[in-house]
Structure 1
Amino acid sequence: MQAIKDELDRRAIQIMRDNDRGGYTIPTHGLYPYQWNWDSAFAALGFAAFDPARAWRELEILYSGQWMDGMVPHILFHRPDPGYFPGPDVWQCRGPLPSSGITQPPVSLSFARRLYEANPAMGAVPVRMLFDPMRRWVQWFMAWRQHEGAICIAHPWESGRDNAADWDKAMAAIDPHDVGHYVRRDLDHVHAAMRPTKDDYDRYIWLVQRGRRLGWHAPSMAVDQPFFVADPTMTFTLMRGVRDLIWLGEQQGLPTASLWNDLQMLEQGAETLWNPEIGAYDSKNALDGAFSGTLSNASFLAWYGGIDRPDLAETLMQVLRPLPYGVPSLALQDERFDPKRYWRGPVWGVLNMLVGMGLEDFGYPQGPALRQMTGRLIASHGFAEYFDPRDGAPAGGGSFTWTAAVWLAWAGVDVQLA
């Protein structure tokens, strides 16, 4: 069994190196040819397993694209690639690097702590360099994405869970009749059955066009927002990130007072997302106060954020019981469940990892169990973007950076393959 694990380690490292573009990492060749925000943070964890200096470089390049207002974009377009849509010509943004005009879950705040803890001597200088940019990103979230203490998304792509069922009702209110003609490029790489629908994409592009018309000016975009949904992914990853940023600041003697206030507000906001009807945290439309009624893998990120709810563990067990490979992106019993369509059913190694880490923090046995499930999933079905939660069949892009990183940083550690 050790030989199998060694081979999987070798393959994961090779994927990381193949997707390395000289200081930043793409998610996979073809489908995603640029630097994605939270993918890049996971890549840093993967590199930390065999090249810690390269791990810090990943985060430094990510933050080199930070806007003046503090936002860290969800895509940095380092090199032109006509095989991807929408590219920088569509976004027409104003940051220091060609980029998108929206952000993504701030897992890099917490992963910086993991890198530092693994090697404090190496991490001292990059932490001091990145601390203020990270703190300014927190301030941007609190200024422009906060509603009643919870963190909202202004575009489904911000959540990282692009076509999740959480957004269906809120997105239905958008009429994209004037979106015009465009050509998708994702379907050149992945079967349409595994991707968001055209109706989804029309609304995605309509929101991009709105942001472009407004010059991506945050105060202007906050007026009469057509889409603004409080998201457990954003809320709990930022909550964890603020906790970890406070810890890093205290280690290095850096100012943390404002972060304590942010943390208190986030803790209060998280409880506005508790939906007793599903027994879990849920997305909530900030425009009308309606829950989405969606039980997703993001519903179980509370422990990752630092909140323990035993009743949530009971709901998790109900979701996991019929499935062998972890937490699906949509509960099996939901009528909208689709086992291969992106975030409407498949299991993702990255969300398994975040949920599992939180469970491990609080001593729940489901945490180590989820780690083993994810390790066996990757060992049996490869380093795909995501997987069918019923049988583990790989789906989406292949040779995926963040799945390799999840193996190296978490799922492959002490995995029992027998």
Structure 2
Amino acid sequence: MTDHIQEARRILAVNDRGGYTVPTDRLYPFQWNWDSAFVAMGFALYDVDRAYRELERLAEGQWADGMIPHIVFHQPSDTYFPGPSVWRTKHGIPTSGITQPPVFAIALRQVHDAADEGARERTLALYLAALKWHRWWYAARDPEGTGLVALLHPWESGSDNSPAWDAAMARVPTTTTTPVVRKDIGHVHADMRPRDEDYRRFIHLVDTYADCDWNPAEQWVRAPFKVAEIQTTAILLKAGEDLEHLARLFGRTEEAEEIAAFNALSRKAILGQWRPALSRFVSRDLVSGADIEAATQAGFLPLLALDLEAAMASAAVAEMRRWSAGLKVAFPTTKPGLAAYEPKRYWRGPAWGIINWLLIEGLRRNGEGAFAEELRGSTLSAIEREGFAEYFDPETGEGCGGLGFSWTAAAYLWLKRGGR
């Protein structure tokens, strides 16, 4: 009988590259931002020192302005595109030029809570990095002070080819001065990955921002893709709550009040994005000014960061149950039955362990423990049947994408112990 906990730990060990963890070998050979935050929470369950090290290695890539990039290229590799030469950033360590959902402070609180008193200084150093990043988010990605932070590239969402971006990305040209030499489809079947057209648009955006020398103000003006995104803002708010907790723990009252003001602004803004007719929250396209009503998992992520009125929470859960009905693995990242739904194609339908992890936390927060437990059981069963795949076909349960995946291993460890 397979010991899945030991197997999860083995995967994290195999993917260790010297204090940081790659998502999986070859397909993703560098350190990814939100992947490492989830991995750190997994490590915190049995190796707190290694959990700290994961976050410390990620923070090595932080820019002077506070941004923590979505990829840190600690070592060379020719198995991934786009590499450092495409990004053309100018920092001590080669990195990408965009960011990713700010799970960092959520992880830091969990790692700190698992540590002994002697780790206070390690937490404080990482707290300061997280605070600098949160300030960057509100300055660079919400310059008008709305409380909703914007993404300038779909990769910043972590949900790269989600149907949520279809309308906004249709405006982005497919022309690029960079040869698009895809490596991903040499590791994973093309039917599970974004399409070639998607990649040409992705790289057009990279070219545009590289031409701005990665200056946030200039990017904001020139961005053809600009989305005030509900999932990322919800994660930022939850991370902000954890950051405020740490600030108060360390007696840093002035910083705690600054963070609390950020949190209050985002809390109000997210609530304003609830759409009763849809029973979920929506993002906003800042170029067109329109709501993004595409039915994706992002519409339910605010559960993670808000204490909703009971009627609102119940409506959201009823809608989530409708999406999950008859599926072998919940929760789908696109509503089944829609034209945009593709159960095996990356973020256009498959179920992801880390998204379920966040949804479970949100459901529990809002008193929806029964559905949270169903989702936890569905996730654990999928992993135990199929292994530690990147994601799962919600209809067949098949493990898809990369295999031996680090954040799936971390999610298993976290969910197996029942979560928080």
Q: Normalization by structure 1: what TM-score?
A: 0.95
Matched with 2:372 is 367
Give the partner amino acid of 1:158: E
Q: Secondary structure at the match of 2:214?
A: coil
Matched with 2:316 is 312
The answer on whether the counterparts of 1:275 and 1:291 sit within 8 Å (CA) in structure 2 is: no
Q: Secondary structure at the match of 2:149?
A: strand
11, 16, 24: which is aligned to 1:15? 11
Q: Secondary structure at the match of 2:40?
A: helix
76, 97, 102: which is aligned to 1:101? 97
348, 353, 358: which is aligned to 2:357? 353
**Separation in 2 of the partners of 1:284 and 1:220?**
21
1:287–1:334 distance in 2 versus 1, CA, 3 Å = same
Matched with 2:41 is 45
1:194–1:122 distance in 2 versus 1, CA, 3 Å = farther
1:338: Cα distance to partner? 0.3
Give the partner amino acid of 2:127: F
Structure 1 residues 334-387: Cα deviation after superposition (integer angstroms, max 9, x where no partner): 211001000000000000000001111222121122111111111111100001
**Separation in 1 of the partners of 2:25 and 2:155?**
20
1:180–1:253 distance in 2 versus 1, CA, 3 Å = closer
1:163–1:253 distance in 2 versus 1, CA, 3 Å = same
Q: How do 1:150-189 and structure 2 match up within 5 A?
A: 150-179=148-177, 181-189=179-187
Structure 1 residues 285-320: Cα deviation after superposition (integer angstroms, max 9, x where no partner): 011221222221221111211232322122112112
The answer on whether the counterparts of 1:164 and 1:343 sit within 8 Å (CA) in structure 2 is: yes
Name stretches of at least 5 consecutive residues in structure 2 with no aligned partner: none
**Separation in 2 of the partners of 1:303 and 1:107?**
15
**Separation in 1 of the partners of 2:123 and 2:179?**
45
Q: How do 1:14-413 and structure 2 match up within 5 A?
A: 14-146=10-142, 148-179=146-177, 181-254=179-252, 255-308=255-308, 309-310=312-313, 311-364=315-368, 365-410=370-415, 412-413=416-417
Q: Secondary structure at the match of 2:56?
A: helix
1:56–1:178 distance in 2 versus 1, CA, 3 Å = closer
**Separation in 2 of the partners of 1:176 and 1:144?**
26
1:43: Cα distance to partner? 1.0
**Separation in 1 of the partners of 2:360 and 2:167?**
29
Q: Secondary structure at the match of 1:222?
A: helix
Aligned sequence identity (%): 38
The answer on whether the counterparts of 1:116 and 1:122 sit within 8 Å (CA) in structure 2 is: no
Give the partner amino acid of 2:352: W
The answer on whether the counterparts of 1:384 and 1:397 sit within 8 Å (CA) in structure 2 is: yes
Equivalences, count: 410
1:180–1:71 distance in 2 versus 1, CA, 3 Å = closer
1:232–1:123 distance in 2 versus 1, CA, 3 Å = farther
Q: Secondary structure at the match of 1:150?
A: coil
The answer on whether the counterparts of 1:387 and 1:393 sit within 8 Å (CA) in structure 2 is: yes
1:212: Cα distance to partner? 0.9
1:175: Cα distance to partner? 1.6
1:201–1:306 distance in 2 versus 1, CA, 3 Å = same
1:54: Cα distance to partner? 0.3
**Separation in 1 of the partners of 2:395 and 2:230?**
24
Q: Secondary structure at the match of 1:284?
A: strand
Q: Secondary structure at the match of 1:301?
A: helix
Give the partner amino acid of 1:391: T
Q: Secondary structure at the match of 2:292?
A: coil
Give the partner amino acid of 1:133: A
Q: Secondary structure at the match of 1:256?
A: helix
4+ residue runs over 4 A deviation = none
Structure 1 residues 149-194: Cα deviation after superposition (integer angstroms, max 9, x where no partner): 1121100000000000000000001122344532111111011100
Q: Secondary structure at the match of 2:150?
A: strand
1:245: Cα distance to partner? 0.3
